[in-house]
Every structure is written in C-alpha cells, then in structure tokens.
C-alpha cells in the first residue's frame, strides 16, 4: 500500500497480499494480469484481507473512504506511514512496484470510460510501468488508450504532463510523435510559438529518420500554425507539401485531411465554392473510411459555408448533424463549437433570447478546456448579440475581451475581421 497513489478496494488488496510471480500456486494472478482481466479470488482470501484491515484500521494505520457511487470502501495509508514504510522497505520497492503494476494490468482493458475514475486503472498501469522503467509499455498505454479519452475530454494539462514525462525515455522513432502531441496541446491552447517549436523539432527528427509520413504530418501541423496566424499563403504552401507526400505514400486519410485544410484556406479567402468542393471531397473519403470524427468536421465546416451564404436553415441542419456525431464521440471541444454555431444562427435570425444560452454554454466549456482562440470567437459573438439588443456598453466590453485575446495570440486576420465588422456595423 505504501506505493499506491490512490485508494484501493478489498479485492485489490487481496491481490497485492497474495501476488507472487515465483510461486506456481499463485500463477492465476500473473495470468489475470496477462489477460487484462480481474483475478478470481476465493471468499476465504477476501475474508483474511478484511480481518487484517480491521486490525490496521483499529490501530489508525489505515484510512477508509466509502464511495457512494460505487458502494465500495477504499483504503489508503496515512502520509506519515507511507513515508516511513518507503524508507523502511527501500530495497523492496522494485518488487512492490511490480506487484502493483501487475494488479492494475488486470483492469487496464477499459471501454467507454466517462470519467478519470473510470480510466484510473489505465492511468495507474501507465504510471507504474513508467516507474519500473518499462517505457515502451508506458508509451503504448498513453498513445493507444489514455490519449483517446483525455483528448476529447479536454484534459490537456494531464495529457501534456504525461507526454513530457515520457519524452526523454522513448525510442528515437517515437520522439517525433511525442513532440507533435505536446505541440498540438500548445496549439489548441493558443500557444502558437511554443507549438511551432515542437513541430519544427518533430520535423527535423523525421527528416533525419527519412520518415515521409512524419515529415508530412509535421508540415501539416506547421500549416495549422500559419493558418491560425492568418498567413494563408504560407499555410497553403505547407499543406500542399503535406498533400504531395501523403499522395506519394497512398495515405488516403492524410490526403483527405489535407484537402480539408486547403478547403479551410479557401473559406477564409472567401472562395466558398472551391472550399465547398474540397470539403465535400474530404467528406466523401472520410465516409468511405468510416472516420466519424472527420465526417463531423466536414459537416461543421460545410455548415460554416452555408452560414456565410446566408442559408441558415441548411447551416443549422449541418451543424446539428455535426453535433450529433460529436456527442456520440464525447468530443467536448467539438460539441461546444457546434453549440456556439447554433447560437450564431439564432442570433442572425433575430432570435436573441434563443441565441444567448447557446453562446454562453459554448463559452463556458471552451474556457474550461482552455481553447483560447475559440473563447475569443465566443466573446465576439456575445458582443454582436448585445449590440443587437442595443446594450452598447456590455457589447463593447465583450468586444474588447475578444480583441485583447486575438491580439495576445497574434491572430492578425481575426483582428482585421472583427475590427472591420465592428466599425461597419457601428
């Protein structure tokens, strides 16, 4: 118990009490860890653990916490006891860490996790794999399981910490991936200069390794940064380099993503027909590949195009289709963006009371997730909303907030856009 980070139930403690990897009698525990399934425990074994826990609790050595949601008691040690035991059993710590890692391996096959607590067995397995120096396994759990949940949940801080922790220890071929993962978090949080540095480092490593796939991915991400900054010609150049490599590799998914990025550039330039053509091409391939996330992105941007054309009913239909998929995927960032878009549609229709809760809901989620650029967009939508209500002072406050955020980000095109619109509609 002295190496555990979180409380553990009685079945877990029974596993840890009995686990021995060198005794044939207890091979069922190693098998359970290998199969990633809970170990079979006998009532007698659990009762013995319970008796030990009662004595420890009576001596105030063990803390108990009842989880109402799980209807289960979880146990832990007092901090002072932990420090004493870790010092006392310093030489035994590697074996203790291994036992705990094996226990968490029995629960790391998590499906449809909704909260961090649901994901806890995988997080703990990853942590103890790292502590044991099993960096390949720690990276694999982070890359193939943990990231799939933390990204749509918007838990950027934890995800970044885990990648920064593993980065110095992974093999050379995995370093570019880690660098790009950290860079993407900085990008989504509006730290574009930091993101660019990580993407450049990833590009250099991929070039040294002659990895065309890695080079293409890094070029596309550098294109994202220039797109965010409003440098559309440079973004297009990088996206086309990426597309060329993806085409050579026969990477259909990567090609589709590049078409989508190029469509985004044309949308920003006001070339709506060309943007629509490219995004429909992207949607077609995403549909063939069964990529629900890509399909949702396509519908969202096609909704933006119809919004720009003033086709609000069609835009709403596309936004709602996008939102439906994002909800199924648990993509909180995407859901917030779509909800904000629905609010804008209601505002443009003149339904200001209906628009306000959409926009405020989107803003709250985007602030929680730390999506700085999208937060600025939401504040600008609130400014437009209050101006339509003739609440001039409040409208100006929201506008100033949006303007300040865009200015801090260095989003030149966004600044130019809102300044022109604000002056024209004054």
**Domains of the chain, start order:** 1-107 (1.10.10), 171-287 (1.25.40.10)
Q: What is the pLDDT of residue 108?
A: 76
Contacts 24+ apart (CB under 8 A), 73-77: 73/9, 73/10, 74/6, 74/7, 74/8, 74/9, 75/1, 75/7, 75/8, 75/9, 75/10, 75/13, 76/1, 76/4, 76/6, 76/7, 76/8, 77/1, 77/2, 77/4
First to last CA, the chain: 65
**Among 52, 51, 39, CA closest to 11:** 39
Closest CA to 240 of 185, 278, 290, 269: 278
Distance in angstroms (rounded) separating the CA atoms of residues 275 and 175 = 34
Rounded to whole angstroms, how far apart are CA atoms 125 and 102? 8
What is the CB neighbour count within 10 angstroms for residue 71?
Answer: 7
* pLDDT tens-place string over residues 319-366: 999 999 999 999 999 999 999 999 999 999 999 999 999 999 999 999
Instruction: Return the SS3 of 289.
Output: helix
Which is nearest to 151 in space by CA: 194, 197, 196, 182?
Answer: 182
Which stretches of the chain score pLDDT less than 50?
A: 24
Q: What is the pLDDT of residue 209?
A: 97
Q: By the 8 A CB rule, do 3 and 100 touch? A: yes
Instruction: Say how far apart CA 318 and CA 338 lie, in whole Å.
Output: 10
**pLDDT at residue 300, rounded to an integer:** 96
């Amino acid at each position: 118990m002295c190496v555990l980070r979180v409380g553990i139930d009685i079945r877990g403690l029974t596993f840890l009490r009995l686990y021995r990897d060198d005794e044939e009698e207890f091979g069922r525990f190693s098998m359970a860890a290998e199969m990633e399934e809970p170990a079979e425990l006998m009532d007698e074994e659990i009762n013995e653990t319970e008796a030990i826990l009662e004595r420890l609790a009576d001596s105030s050595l063990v803390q108990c916490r009842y989880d109402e949601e799980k209807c289960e008691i979880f146990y832990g040690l007092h901090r002072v006891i932990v420090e004493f035991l870790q010092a006392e059993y310093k030489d035994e710590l590697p074996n203790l860490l291994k036992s705990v890692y094996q226990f968490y391996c029995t629960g790391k096959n998590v499906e449809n996790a909704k909260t961090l607590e649901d994901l806890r067995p995988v997080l703990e397995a990853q942590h103890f794999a790292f502590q044991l120096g099993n960096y390949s396994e720690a990276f694999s759990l982070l890359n193939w399981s943990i990231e799939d949940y933390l990204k749509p949940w918007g838990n950027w801080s934890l995800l970044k910490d885990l990648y920064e922790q593993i980065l110095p220890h992974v093999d050379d071929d995995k370093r570019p991936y880690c660098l790009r993962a950290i860079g993407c978090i900085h990008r989504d949080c509006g730290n574009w200069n930091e993101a660019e540095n990580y993407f450049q480092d990833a590009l250099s490593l991929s070039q040294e390794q002659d990895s065309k796939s890695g080079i293409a991915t890094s070029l596309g991400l550098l294109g994202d940064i220039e797109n965010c900054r409003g440098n559309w010609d440079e973004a297009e150049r990088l996206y086309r380099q990426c597309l060329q490599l993806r085409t050579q590799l026969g990477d259909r998914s990567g090609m589709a993503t590049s078409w989508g990025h190029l469509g985004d550039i044309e949308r920003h330039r006001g070339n709506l027909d060309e943007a629509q053509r490219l995004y429909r091409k992207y949607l077609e391939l995403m549909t063939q590949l069964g990529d629900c996330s890509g399909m949702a992105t396509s519908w969202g941007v096609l909704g933006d195009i119809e919004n720009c054309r003033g086709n609000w009913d069609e835009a709403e239909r596309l936004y709602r289709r996008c939102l439906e998929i994002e909800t199924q995927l648990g993509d909180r960032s995407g859901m917030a963006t779509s909800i904000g878009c629905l609010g804008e549609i209601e505002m443009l229709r003149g339904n200001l009371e209906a628009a306000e809760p959409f926009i405020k809901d989107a803003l709250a989620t985007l602030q929680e997730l730390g999506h700085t650029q999208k937060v600025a967009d939401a504040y600008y939508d609130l400014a437009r909303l209050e101006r339509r209500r003739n609440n001039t002072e409040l409208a100006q406050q929201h506008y100033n907030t949006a303007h300040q955020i865009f200015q801090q980000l260095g989003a030149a095109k966004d600044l130019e856009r809102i300044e022109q619109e604000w002056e024209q509609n004054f």
